[in-house]
């Protein structure tokens, strides 16, 4: 093997000037190799480079030692072959966000009204002031006041600008937060490479061409590479090719490994041959114009539900791939991809907002019509005036004023603060959840968690500490209750056991010295293997010398562990030409394959089925009942005379074993778990344990955790039994059978990943209870992917989890701890409550403001609250209140109630009682002040003031009282379940306090110094005290309302339900539809056509490009693979398209699988499938 040429001084390079000349192979050469598959690739490598070692030599890297890690060398590799980084799309600039915020319809109407009003105020027609125009121009004190007509228009424009800036800033900070989160997820992605002969983990972005990377089960490959050494390697390439079959990789047949694919089984080493934009995933992204230029055209598509463009970085194109694959296989199920699109809460909110908006629109239209009619009848009918040409501008000015009042009513009625409140609440929660070890990947997962009714948890690592140690052993006919002394075991037995454990385990698994003095040794790699290596160390032996003697290259054949085998075996070739195989695995499985066992003398004796049953009864079951996991270690010799066995006939190979020992491994329950589980049970959440362990171990641990309580008739099933109970004779899962099992099921042992998926799907689809179950699932293995994706919320383990599991999850538990899930439930419920609090506050203001503006306008021809004042109220209500109420920290008391369920209305009866109760108080006060306030305060009346008259004290007091009542009602709104103490825990929320005090201070400034723009005059201290006093009355009134028991108020309606099945037209209830949001449907019809058009063009361009570059060898790679964003939107669109477009696509999308490029028409139609 070549020595490490990377250590040579760069002077030896071929051509100094040309960067690529430093290496014996250029980027283009490598790229051509990487585009080939299987035998073609093998031949090309053989013809051009001799073998993979030849490529390593040219890349100046050693297959054993790896790169030197010298910064100069790494820098060179960056220049020659690029970096392992696919540049993300540029974030939206602040100005783009401002522009988006300006698209709001109500704001546009206001802007137009304000501009017309401005224009008219500057237009003074000759003779317009004559008496002929009636009272219109009366009441103007002097010229200066008349000139001030522009102020109102300007003030409205100014407040619109404020609202827009605030919205844009929120969007901007939200996107920034999201990107921060994204980059954090990416930085945490590390990969194992060999440098200077040391195995180290480096961030994915630092991988360079020529690195030797170690790959193992569960990895998501970060770059393209060529296999140098592999054991039983199987790769899932569906993310690139759409083929769901796993591809076997080997040096002889197919050594090409592609970035973005998943290792499903086995392990090995590869030399990295392409990174970043030059890797296969990178090439597809460049092809799809994920780089800047084309993206501009697609900007229209990237606005997802709540204004965040949910871009997940390209390397993460897993989701897109998954959904592509789902489309291929069963066109009908395609709707499932949309599951993550719209959460329950957003569905309810959109519906509620649309309902409120419609009501507001009607109110404002009626207001305008009444005002205009009244004015016209009064001026031209009652006073009998003529319409004179010179008076037209003055009349129009009146009409504009009425129009502005109407729009203002609309602005106040439409709760555009709702999406803002949701976003702030979610963003705040996500930020805080980071501290609680929850890294949220999909914002809405956090709120869904609050509704969770069931948690299916793994055992190992989540409920237990995942720090495995061997505590009992059965060796040489003796059952040791503690680890025996080395001299208690026969030397031969000890020798073979130590060898078996050291060689038959992943070489990446190690036990390292503790980081801190006196700490526990660090376990690296597979925890079960660590326990066995720990046993070797406890027997005063060392595994490292044995591994050095038999390096990985010398392993003849490795059967790696996977979920169906539940065992691992390694074959070595002996000097005499025979073979020895070491095996280990779950004890009941390996013991079934054993025909001999080593006795006390270390000699093999016959091991019959009855011996085995006795051993199970006397050794394995007692161990399992102590909550231990039992592992059997065995070996088998193949004599040289018999010739080489057929290694692919796995069942014959893994037979006739000789059992060496059975060990019991303890994985202690985390001390905080029992408490967390009892919290879940109090909160109405059922915790189920799904584990691959044996049923006795599982039952013991479940009892320790409190999942099984003594004296309750809960079910503990093994996977086999579970399947017998839920499947019919044909082996299909029947929902009715499943419904009989799951409500009582608490522990599912010896379960396969498919069992987990079946259980989760069964619980979610079940219609047994009154509400649909919301299921959270934890998973760490690659095989948990489907269950994590299917669940409403998938939790992946941050430490033990594989990349595939993290990819499929919604939340990553950075400490792998079950208690963090309970925290997530608390935050989820808190989000829901925060939004209800905000709604309760907002709707009270809405009801009052709309009624006041409406009746005031109809009776006095002028809204008591001016447009600018309304906008200020709107600002308090929307932006500031959502800040204050959406950032309430959660309390433990949230876990004392049952989950709300998916169909529970947002506004409960209690809340409706509060809203109407407070509205009554406020309306009574306002109308009293409006029609009798001048007598009470002894001031001039402000009613029926002419156009452009100066602001009156009377209306200022009305406005001030209104704001004071809102402020104090904001404190009332902190409690929504009818609690008495509204101040409870208020000091724990500094944001709330500062918002309330800040609003109060601003109100003083507006009233005292706001003057003409705010239509305010300064008030005296007495008047101020009265205003505050009336405001405080809100708190007392709140106590009175909460004293009325809600159950007497049967007439109160709830509002903001989720969509029920009955309301959805038949044809939309096709299989797999989750929530169809009708409010959204209206808005989406146009967008869908737009998407489809875009996608057709895009697909046709891709196809043409394919033909030009004639890369027919990789048809799969060129298929549309949009970034997650457009996938997201396409998916939503697919959801909202209820027309029969789903049908007939199966034929066209099956074309895609048949290899070869497609005719443009077929490509276009299959791409429409995505839309």
Res. 650: pLDDT tops 80? yes
Lowest mean pLDDT among 175-179, 327-331, 511-515, 1154-1158: 327-331
What is the number of residues in the chain?
1171
Sequence-distant (≥ 6) Cβ neighbours of residue 566 within 8 angstroms: 585, 586, 589, 692
Q: Hunting for tokens 């609309």 — which residue is that?
A: 410
d(CA 123, CA 390): 12
For the entire predicted model, the pTM comes to 0.66
CA-based radius of gyration for the chain: 36
Mean pLDDT to the nearest integer, 69-83 = 82
Res. 442: pLDDT tops 50? yes
Q: What is the pLDDT of residue 861?
A: 66
Q: What is the pLDDT of residue 340?
A: 38
Alpha-carbon dihedral angle through residues 1047, 1049, 1050, 1051, given to the nearest 10 degrees = -160
Res. 524: pLDDT tops 90? no
Residue from 603, 299, 599, 595 nearest 474 by CA: 599
d(CA 151, CA 1014): 9
The count of other CB atoms within 10 Å of the CB of residue 478 is 11
Residue 464 pairs in a beta bridge with 669
Of 415 and 760, which is predicted with more confidence?
Answer: 760
Task: Name the 3-class secondary structure at 1.
Answer: coil
Are 1135 and 1071 a contacting pair, CB within 8 Å?
Answer: no
Mean pLDDT to the nearest integer, 502-527 = 80
Tokens of 281: 């995933």
d(CA 790, CA 755): 13
Residue from 999, 991, 992, 998 nearest 972 by CA: 992
Q: What confidence tier does 584 reach under pLDDT thresholds 50, 70, 90?
A: very high
Res. 635: pLDDT tops 90? yes
Q: What is the pLDDT of residue 560?
A: 82
Of 232, 236, 444, 458, which is the active-site residue? 458
Angle between helices 527-538 and 491-503 (to 10 degrees): 150
Q: What confidence tier does 185 reach under pLDDT thresholds 50, 70, 90?
A: low
Quick one: what percent of the chain has pLDDT higher than 70?
Answer: 74
Res. 574: pLDDT tops 80? yes
Q: What is the pLDDT of residue 299?
A: 37
Burial class (CB in 10 A: 0-12, 13-18, 19+), 1138: middle
Residue 1083 pairs in a beta bridge with none
pLDDT tens track for 229-274: 887 788 877 766 666 677 888 877 888 888 878 887 788 888 888 8
Are 1107 and 317 a contacting pair, CB within 8 Å?
Answer: no
Element (H, E) at 226: strand 224-236
Q: What is the pLDDT of residue 1164?
A: 40
Mean pLDDT to the nearest integer, 378-400 = 76
d(CA 279, CA 27): 10
Count of alpha carbons within 13 Å of 1143, Cβ hemisphere only?
5
Q: What is the pLDDT of residue 634?
A: 93
- Distance, C-alpha 439 to centroid of its chain: 9
pLDDT tens track for 79-100: 888 887 777 667 778 888 888 8
Res. 20: pLDDT tops 50? no
Residue from 714, 589, 707 nearest 657 by CA: 589
Q: What is the pLDDT of residue 662?
A: 93
Res. 990: pLDDT tops 50? yes
Backbone torsions φ then ψ of 767, nearest 5 degrees: -120, 20
d(CA 59, CA 49): 11
Sequence-distant (≥ 6) Cβ neighbours of residue 1060 within 8 angstroms: 903
Res. 534: pLDDT tops 70? yes
pLDDT tens track for 816-828: 788 888 888 888 8
Considering 224-228, 328-332, 427-431, 1100-1104, the range whose residues carry the highest mean pLDDT is 224-228
Active site residue 542: no
Mean pLDDT to the nearest integer, 867-876 = 72
Lowest mean pLDDT among 267-281, 302-316, 368-382: 302-316
- DSSP-assigned letter for residue 220: B
Reading phi first (left if > 0) and then psi (alpha if -120 to 50, else beta), residue 441 is in alpha
Q: What confidence tier does 387 reach under pLDDT thresholds 50, 70, 90?
A: confident
pLDDT tens track for 785-823: 788 888 888 988 877 777 777 778 888 888 778 888 888
Q: What confidence tier does 636 reach under pLDDT thresholds 50, 70, 90?
A: very high
The count of other CB atoms within 10 Å of the CB of residue 946 is 12
Mean pLDDT to the nearest integer, 711-715 = 82
Backbone torsions φ then ψ of 462, nearest 5 degrees: -95, -55
Count of alpha carbons within 13 Å of 99, Cβ hemisphere only?
7
- DSSP-assigned letter for residue 669: B
Q: What confidence tier does 329 reach under pLDDT thresholds 50, 70, 90?
A: very low
d(CA 577, CA 443): 60
Res. 696: pLDDT tops 90? no
Res. 685: pLDDT tops 60? yes
User: Where do runs of H (alpha helix) occur along 895-948?
Assistant: 909-937
d(CA 1098, CA 1092): 10
Are 567 and 265 a contacting pair, CB within 8 Å?
Answer: no
The count of other CB atoms within 10 Å of the CB of residue 923 is 15
Res. 982: pLDDT tops 50? yes
Tokens of 649: 């006939």
Lowest mean pLDDT among 38-52, 595-609, 973-987, 1149-1163: 1149-1163
Lowest mean pLDDT among 331-345, 725-739, 880-894: 331-345
Sequence-distant (≥ 6) Cβ neighbours of residue 59 within 8 angstroms: 23, 24, 25, 209, 210, 271, 273
Q: What is the pLDDT of residue 1028?
A: 92
β pairing state of 628-638 and 579-586: antiparallel
What value does the mean pLDDT of the chain take? 74
Mean pLDDT to the nearest integer, 900-919 = 82
Q: What is the pLDDT of residue 368?
A: 85
Lowest mean pLDDT among 116-130, 323-337, 516-530: 323-337
User: How would DSSP label each residue in 801-836?
Assistant: --HHHHHH-SEEETT--HHHHHHHHHHHHHHHHHHH
Backbone torsions φ then ψ of 796, nearest 5 degrees: -110, 150
pLDDT tens track for 923-939: 999 888 888 888 887 77
Q: What confidence tier does 659 reach under pLDDT thresholds 50, 70, 90?
A: very high
Residue from 717, 784, 793, 788 nearest 752 by CA: 784
d(CA 441, CA 185): 9
Tokens of 590: 């390996």
d(CA 43, CA 36): 10
Residue from 950, 968, 972 nearest 1027 by CA: 968
pLDDT tens track for 459-501: 877 788 778 889 899 998 889 888 888 888 888 888 999 999 9
Sequence-distant (≥ 6) Cβ neighbours of residue 664 within 8 angstroms: 470, 471, 472, 473, 623, 626, 628, 629, 630
């Amino acid at each position: 093997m070549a020595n490490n040429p990377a250590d040579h001084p760069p002077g030896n390079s071929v051509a100094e000037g040309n960067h690529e000349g430093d290496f014996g192979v250029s980027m283009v050469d490598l790229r051509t190799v990487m585009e080939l598959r299987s035998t073609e690739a093998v031949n090309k490598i053989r013809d051009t480079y001799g073998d993979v070692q030849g490529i390593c030599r040219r890349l100046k890297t050693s297959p054993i030692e790896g790169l030197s890690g010298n910064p100069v060398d790494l820098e060179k590799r960056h220049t020659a072959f690029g970096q392992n980084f696919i540049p993300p799309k540029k974030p939206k600039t602040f100005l783009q966000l401002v522009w988006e915020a300006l698209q709001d319809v109500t704001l546009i109407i206001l802007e137009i009204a304000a501009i017309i009003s401005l224009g008219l105020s500057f237009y003074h027609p000759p003779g317009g002031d004559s008496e002929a125009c009636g009272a219109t121009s009366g009441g103007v004190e002097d010229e200066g006041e008349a000139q001030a007509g522009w102020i109102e228009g300007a003030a409205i424009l100014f407040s619109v600008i404020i609202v827009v800036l605030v919205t844009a800033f929120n969007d901007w900070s939200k996107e920034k937060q999201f990107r921060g989160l994204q980059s954090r997820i990416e930085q945490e992605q590390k990969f194992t490479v060999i440098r200077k002969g040391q195995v180290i983990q480096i961030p994915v972005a630092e991988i360079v061409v020529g690195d030797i990377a170690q790959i193992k089960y569960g990895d998501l490959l970060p770059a393209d590479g060529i296999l140098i050494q592999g054991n039983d390697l199987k790769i899932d390439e569906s993310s690139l090719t759409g083929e769901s079959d796993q591809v076997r990789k080997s040096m002889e047949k197919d050594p090409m490994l592609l970035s973005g694919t998943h290792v499903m089984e086995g392990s090995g080493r590869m030399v990295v041959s392409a990174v970043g934009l030059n890797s296969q995933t990178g090439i597809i992204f460049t092809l799809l114009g994920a780089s800047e230029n084309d993206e501009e055209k697609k900007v229209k598509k990237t606005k997802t539900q709540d204004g965040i463009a949910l871009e997940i970085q390209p390397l993460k194109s897993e989701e897109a791939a998954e959904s592509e694959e789902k489309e291929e296989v069963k066109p009908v199920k395609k709707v499932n991809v949309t599951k993550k699109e719209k959460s329950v809460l957003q569905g309810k909110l959109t519906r509620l907002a649309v309902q409120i908006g419609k009501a507001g629109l009607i109110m404002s239209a009626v207001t305008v019509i009444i005002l205009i009619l009244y004015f016209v009848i009064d001026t031209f009918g009652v006073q009998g005036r003529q319409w004179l040409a010179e008076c037209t501008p003055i009349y129009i000015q009146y009409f504009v004023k009425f129009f502005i009042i109407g729009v203002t009513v609309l602005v106040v009625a439409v709760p555009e603060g709702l999406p803002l409140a949701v976003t702030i609440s979610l963003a705040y929660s996500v930020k805080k959840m980071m501290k609680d070890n929850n890294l949220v990947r999909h914002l809405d997962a956090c709120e869904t968690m609050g509704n969770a009714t069931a948690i299916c948890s793994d055992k190992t690592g989540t409920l237990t500490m995942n720090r495995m140690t061997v505590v009992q052993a059965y060796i040489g006919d003796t059952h040791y209750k503690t680890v025996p002394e080395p001299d208690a075991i026969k030397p031969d037995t000890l020798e073979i056991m130590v060898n078996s454990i050291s060689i038959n385990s992943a070489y990446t698994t190690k036990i390292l010295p503790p980081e801190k003095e006196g700490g526990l040794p660090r376990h690296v790699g597979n925890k079960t293997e660590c326990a066995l290596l720990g046993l070797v160390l406890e027997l005063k032996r060392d595994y490292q010398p044995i591994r050095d003697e038999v390096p990985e290259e010398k392993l003849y054949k490795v059967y790696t562990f996977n979920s169906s085998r539940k065992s691992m075996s390694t074959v070595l070739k002996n000097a005499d030409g025979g073979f020895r195989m070491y095996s280990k695995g779950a004890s009941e499985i390996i013991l079934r394959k054993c025909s001999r066992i080593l006795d006390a003398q270390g000699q093999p004796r016959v091991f019959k089925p009855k011996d085995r049953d006795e051993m199970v009864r006397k050794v394995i079951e007692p161990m399992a009942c102590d909550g231990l996991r039992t592992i059997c270690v065995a070996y088998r010799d193949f004599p040289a005379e018999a010739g080489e066995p057929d290694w692919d006939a796995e069942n014959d190979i893994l037979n006739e074993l000789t059992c060496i020992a059975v060990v019991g491994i303890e994985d202690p329950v985390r001390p905080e778990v029992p408490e967390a589980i009892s919290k879940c049970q109090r909160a109405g959440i059922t915790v189920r344990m799904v584990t691959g362990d044996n049923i006795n171990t599982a039952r013991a641990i479940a009892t320790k955790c409190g999942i099984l309580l003594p004296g309750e008739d809960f079910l503990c099933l093994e996977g086999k039994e579970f399947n017998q109970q839920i499947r019919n004779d044909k082996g299909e899962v029947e929902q009715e059978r499943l419904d009989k099992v799951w409500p009582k099921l608490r522990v599912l042992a010896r379960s396969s990943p498919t069992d987990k998926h079946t259980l989760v799907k069964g619980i979610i689809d079940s219609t047994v209870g009154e509400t649909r179950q919301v299921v959270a699932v934890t998973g760490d293995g690659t095989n948990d992917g489907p269950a994590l994706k299917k669940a409403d919320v998938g939790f992946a383990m941050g430490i033990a989890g594989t990349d595939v599991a993290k990819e499929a999850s919604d939340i990553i538990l950075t400490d792998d701890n079950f208690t963090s899930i309970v925290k997530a439930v608390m935050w989820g419920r808190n989000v829901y409550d925060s939004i209800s609090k905000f709604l309760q506050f907002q709707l009270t203001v809405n009801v009052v403001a709309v009624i006041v503006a409406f009746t005031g306008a109809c009776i006095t021809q002028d809204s008591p609250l001016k447009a600018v004042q309304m906008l200020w109220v709107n600002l308090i209500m929307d932006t500031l209140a959502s800040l204050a109420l959406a950032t309430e920290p959660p309390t433990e008391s949230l876990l004392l109630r049952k989950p709300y369920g998916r169909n529970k209305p947002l506004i409960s009866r209690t809340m409706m009682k509060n809203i109407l109760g407070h509205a009554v108080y406020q309306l009574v006060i306002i109308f009293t002040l409006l029609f009798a306030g001048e007598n009470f305060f002894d001031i001039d009346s402000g009613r029926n003031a002419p156009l452009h008259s100066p602001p009156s004290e009377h209306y200022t007091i009305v406005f001030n009282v209104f704001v004071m009542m809102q402020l104090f009602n904001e404190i009332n709104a902190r409690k929504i379940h009818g609690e008495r103490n509204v101040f409870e825990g208020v000091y724990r929320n500094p944001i709330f306090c500062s918002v309330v005090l800040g609003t109060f201070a601003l109100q003083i400034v507006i009233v005292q110094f706001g003057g003409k723009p705010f239509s305010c005059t300064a008030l005296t201290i007495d008047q101020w005290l009265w205003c505050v006093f009336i405001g405080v009355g809100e708190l007392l009134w709140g106590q009175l309302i909460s004293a009325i028991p809600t159950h007497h108020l049967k007439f109160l309606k709830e509002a903001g339900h989720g969509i029920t099945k009955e309301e959805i037209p038949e044809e939309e209830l096709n299989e797999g539809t989750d929530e169809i949001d009708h409010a959204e449907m209206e808005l989406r019809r146009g967008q869908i056509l737009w998407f489809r058009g875009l996608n057709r063009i895009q697909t046709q361009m891709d196809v043409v490009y394919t033909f030009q570059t004639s890369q027919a060898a990789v048809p799969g790679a060129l298929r549309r693979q949009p970034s997650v964003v457009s996938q997201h939107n396409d998916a939503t669109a697919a959801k909202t398209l209820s027309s029969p477009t789903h049908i007939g696509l199966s034929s066209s999308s099956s074309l895609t699988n048949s290899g070869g490029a497609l005719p443009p028409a077929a490509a276009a139609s299959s791409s429409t499938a995505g839309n």
